[in-house]
Amino acid sequence: MSNNLAVKNVAIMNTYNRFPVKLVKGKGSKVWDDKGNEYLDYTSGIATCNLGHVPDRVQSKVKEQLDLLWHCSNLYEIPNQEELATLLTENSVFDKVFFCNSGAEANEAAIKIAKKYAKDQGNPERTDIVTFKQSFHGRTGTTMAATGQEKIHQGFTPLDRGFRYLTLNDFDALSEINDGKTTAVLVEVVQGEGGVNPADKEWLTQLEKVCKDNDILFMVDEVQTGMGRTGKLFAYEQFDLKPDVITLAKGLGSGIPIGAMLATESVAATFSPGTHGCTFGGNPLATSAGIATIECLLSEGFLAEVKEKSDWFRTELAKLQQASTNVIGVKGLGFLVGIEFTEPVSPLIEQFREKGILVLVAGTNVLRILPPLTTTKEELKQFVNAFHELLLETEE
Q: What is the rounded CA–CA span in Å between residue 301 and residue 100?
A: 30
- Residue 394: band (very low, low, confident or very high) from pLDDT cuts 50, 70, 90: confident
Q: Among 334, 338, 337, 329, which residue's Cα sits nearest to residue 308? A: 334
Cross-strand pairs, 166: 132
Q: What is the rounded CA–CA span in Å between residue 330 and residue 339?
A: 5
Assigned domain for 7 exists: no
Alpha carbon 247 to chain centroid distance?
A: 9
- Which residues touch 251 (CB under 8 Å, ≥6 apart)? 44, 47, 48, 49, 50, 51, 226, 227, 228, 229, 293
User: Are the C-beta atoms of residues 360 and 352 closer than 8 Å to each other?
Assistant: no
**Domain stop point among 262, 297, 332:** 297
Same domain as 288, residue 340? no
Q: Is the pLDDT of residue 3 over 50?
A: no
- pLDDT, one tens digit per residue, over 186-195 is 999 999 999 9
Question: Poorest-confidence range of 10-19, 77-86, 215-224, 260-269?
Answer: 10-19
Q: What is the rounded CA–CA span in Å between residue 362 and residue 330?
A: 13
Q: What is the rounded CA–CA span in Å between residue 69 and residue 50?
A: 25
Assigned domain for 208 exists: yes
Assigned domain for 12 exists: no
Q: For the chain, what is the domain count?
A: 2
Same domain as 311, residue 184? no
Assigned domain for 320 exists: yes
Assigned domain for 164 exists: yes
Same domain as 224, residue 340? no
Same domain as 369, residue 264? no
CATH of the domain at 252: 3.40.640.10
Assigned domain for 197 exists: yes
Q: Is the pLDDT of residue 325 over 60?
A: yes
DSSP state letter for 173: G
Assigned domain for 265 exists: yes
Same domain as 331, residue 227? no
Tell me how far apart the terminal alpha carbons of the chain are, to the nearest angstrom: 51
Same domain as 233, residue 285? yes
Helix (H) or strand (E) holding 263: strand 259-263
Q: Among 87, 104, 366, 358, which residue's Cα sits nearest to residue 227? A: 87
Cross-strand pairs, 330: 339
Dihedral sign for Cα atoms in the order 348, 249, 312, 323: positive
Helices (H) and strands (E) in the chain, counts: 12, 17
Q: What is the rounded CA–CA span in Å between residue 180 and residue 290?
A: 39
- pLDDT, one tens digit per residue, over 42-91 is 999 999 999 999 999 999 999 999 999 999 999 999 999 999 999 999 99
Assigned domain for 4 exists: no
**Domain stop point among 276, 297, 318:** 297
Strand 327-333 and strand 336-341: the pairing is: antiparallel
Same domain as 47, residue 80? no
Same domain as 175, residue 239? yes
Q: What is the rounded CA–CA span in Å between residue 234 and residue 260?
A: 13
Mean pLDDT (whole number) for 22-35: 98
pLDDT at 393: 87
Q: Is the pLDDT of residue 5 over 90?
A: no
Greatest alpha-carbon span in the chain: 65
User: Are the C-beta atoms of residues 110 and 219 closer than 8 Å to each other?
Assistant: yes
223 in helix, strand or coil?
Answer: coil
pLDDT at 396: 62
pLDDT at 8: 63
pLDDT at 10: 80
- pLDDT, one tens digit per residue, over 211-236 is 999 999 999 999 999 999 999 999 99
Same domain as 214, residue 354? no
**Domain stop point among 269, 297, 325:** 297
Q: Among 236, 294, 283, 234, which residue's Cα sits nearest to residue 258? A: 283
Query: Which residue type sits at 274?
Result: G
Same domain as 178, residue 61? yes
Q: Is the pLDDT of residue 102 over 60?
A: yes
- Residue 372 sits in which domain range? 23-55+305-394
Q: What is the rounded CA–CA span in Å between residue 313 and residue 360?
A: 17
User: Are the C-beta atoms of residues 158 and 175 closer than 8 Å to each other?
Assistant: no
Same domain as 358, residue 290? no
Same domain as 213, residue 354? no
CATH of the domain at 331: 3.90.1150.10
Mean pLDDT (whole number) for 192-206: 97
Burial class (CB in 10 A: 0-12, 13-18, 19+), 184: buried
